[in-house]
Amino acid sequence: MTIAIEARDAVFSFGATPALRGADIAVESGEILAIMGPSGSGKSTLLHCLAGILVPDSGEILFGGARVDTLNEADRSRLRRDHFGFVFQFGQLVPELTAAENVALPLLLSGVRRPEALRRAQGWFERLGIDGMQQRRSGELSGGQAQRVALARGLMAAPEVLFADEPTGSLDSLTGEQVMDQLVAAAREQGTTVILVTHEPRVAAYADREVTVRDGRVNAPDRIPS
């Protein structure tokens, strides 16, 4: 077993309000992990600490065995750019960019030339069933189309870890299932580790394993039956 990313006794508070109270979690390389819990339980805070977006007040975050929480902001930004991908509930596409430019954005930020980045983005539109949407902007896309663009952007650079925070929360059931089918298939093909935050059991069922966060702590994980 190779651990891709982990939190050890992570504590984090928003002012006087505790969000994590000693969270421990280890995610295997190539695993799809679902983090569940009620609103306010700390599950999104845990994801943001694992991703280096937030720095815990105490405890450790490790990626590939190296500390993330001790890096400065510039180094954490580079880590996210070079090794991580993200899919959020409402897509968070850049509205000024076309769909193709949004998908190509991780490559453009890494220094890939624009024609090559757009060429490589093209394959994702065909793969995710949104061919023909390349020149549309976010306001011209349906919710399902926009989330597929966000998924393509998250996986575009073959990240080692994909963080997905309620990726189907704004979608109807059928579209949500289609997006999850595509997310899982693409992650499996690339060997990407996926950390998925959701409150929906039907979404968590796509994962290899499920843990529950309550009151800022991670409950003992249970394997999801195959």
CB 161 within 8 A of CB 192: yes
- List the chain pLDDT tens, one digit each, 226 residues: 799 999 999 999 999 999 999 999 999 999 999 999 988 899 999 999 999 999 999 999 999 999 999 999 999 999 999 999 998 876 578 999 999 999 999 999 889 999 999 999 998 998 888 899 999 998 899 888 888 899 899 988 889 999 999 888 777 888 888 888 888 988 899 899 999 999 889 999 999 999 999 999 998 554 443 3
What angle, rounded to 10 degrees, do the helices at 173-190 and 143-155 form? 10
Beta strand 17-28 pairing with 66-67: unpaired
The pLDDT value recorded for residue 97 is 94
Degrees to nearest 5, angle at CA 223 with 181 and 154: 35
**Strands, DSSP E only, in the chain?**
3-14, 17-28, 32-36, 58-63, 66-67, 84-88, 161-165, 193-197, 209-214, 217-218, 222-223
Q: Is residue 46 classed as helix, strand or coil in its secondary structure?
A: helix
Task: State how far the Cα of 79 lies from the Cα of 57, in Å rounded to an integer.
Answer: 20
Task: State how far the Cα of 78 lies from the Cα of 59, in Å rounded to an integer.
Answer: 22
The pLDDT value recorded for residue 110 is 87
Token pair 């979404």 is found at 203
Question: What domains can be seen in the chain, in order of their start residue?
Answer: 3-218 (3.40.50.300)
Q: How many other C-beta atoms are found inside a 10 Å radius of the C-beta of residue 42?
A: 24
The pLDDT value recorded for residue 221 is 52
Cα-Cα-Cα-Cα dihedral sign, residues 97, 102, 106, 110: negative
The pLDDT value recorded for residue 90 is 61
Task: State how far the Cα of 104 lies from the Cα of 120, in Å rounded to an integer.
Answer: 8
CB 161 within 8 A of CB 127: no
What angle, rounded to 10 degrees, do the helices at 143-155 and 114-127 form? 130
Query: Beta partners for 7?
Result: 25, 61
The pLDDT value recorded for residue 220 is 57
Whole-angstrom Cα Rg for the chain = 17
DSSP 197: E
pTM of this prediction? 0.88
